């Protein structure tokens, strides 16, 4: 479902209205949950609005009250996916900092387990994410979350080594995010065994990149 979202379609991809009451929020959640279930079942084939409505137990008219088309639903799912990463990374800052490289490696492994699940469970959304990245009008949607993720990676590194300069921590955080995302996208287009091997390679690259800056034995 790769699409080149043009400036003219940007407004058409936004939700028709934002839910202001709990009941409306639950309806939107049903729509998004149904769309996510169907995208996982159907792989690269995007579900129709009718299929989403039926799976959610709603009329098509009810879906159209909140979303103008199926692309808008998938775009909102992409936002939900992107917003899940900051919380996962923040967990690494909430625990006591590692005292040696092995403890840090274990923390990296925990992060990889959590974030890999997000990628694998939402593999069918990756064409949407790639479309957002490649479109000047929609890229700010991803930039908003990218900036949070880079800042959190930087904070995590400074949690491990408080003496690490802000500029260095931010540069390393940017590399961690970009390398991890790009390599996982490549892995998702292969088989699961290859994906797992690429994951291991990314972990090795991460550790080689940041260990010299962490002041750990």
Handedness of CA 56, 61, 67, 72 (dihedral sign): positive
pLDDT computed for residue 132 by the predictor: 77
Q: 5 pLDDT exceeds 50?
A: no
Tens of pLDDT, residue by residue over 81-116, are: 889 999 999 999 999 999 999 999 999 999 999 999
Structural domains present in the chain: 17-66 (1.10.10.60), 75-214 (1.10.357)
Total-model pTM:
0.78
Mean pLDDT of 180-189: 94
% helix / strand / coil in the chain, to the nearest 5? Answer: 75, 0, 25
Half-sphere exposure of 213 (CA within 13 A, CB side): 23
CB-CB neighbours of 200 under 10 Å = 11
Cα gap 140→75, rounded to integer Å: 13
pLDDT in tens, 117-168: 999 988 888 888 887 777 777 788 888 899 999 999 999 999 999 999 999 9
């Amino acid at each position: 479902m790769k699409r080149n979202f043009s400036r003219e379609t940007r407004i058409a991809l936004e939700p028709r209205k934002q839910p202001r009451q709990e009941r409306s929020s639950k309806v939107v959640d049903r729509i998004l949950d149904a769309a996510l279930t169907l995208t996982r079942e159907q792989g690269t084939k995007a579900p129709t609005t009718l299929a989403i409505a039926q799976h959610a137990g709603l009329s098509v008219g009810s879906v159209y009250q909140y979303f103008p088309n199926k692309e808008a639903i998938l775009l909102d799912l992409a936002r939900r996916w992107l917003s899940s990463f900051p919380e996962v990374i923040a967990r690494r800052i909430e625990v006591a900092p590692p005292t040696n490289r092995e403890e840090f490696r274990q923390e990296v492994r925990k992060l990889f387990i959590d974030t890999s699940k997000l990628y694998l469970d939402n593999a069918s959304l990756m064409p949407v994410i790639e479309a957002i990245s490649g479109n000047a009008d929609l890229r700010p949607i991803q930039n908003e979350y990218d900036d949070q993720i880079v800042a959190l990676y930087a904070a995590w590194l400074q949690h491990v080594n408080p003496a690490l300069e802000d500029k260095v921590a931010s540069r390393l955080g940017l590399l961690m995010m970009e390398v991890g995302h790009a390599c996982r996208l490549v892995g998702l287009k292969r088989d699961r065994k290859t994906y797992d091997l690429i994951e291991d390679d990314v972990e090795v690259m991460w550790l080689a990149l940041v260990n010299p800056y962490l002041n750990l034995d």
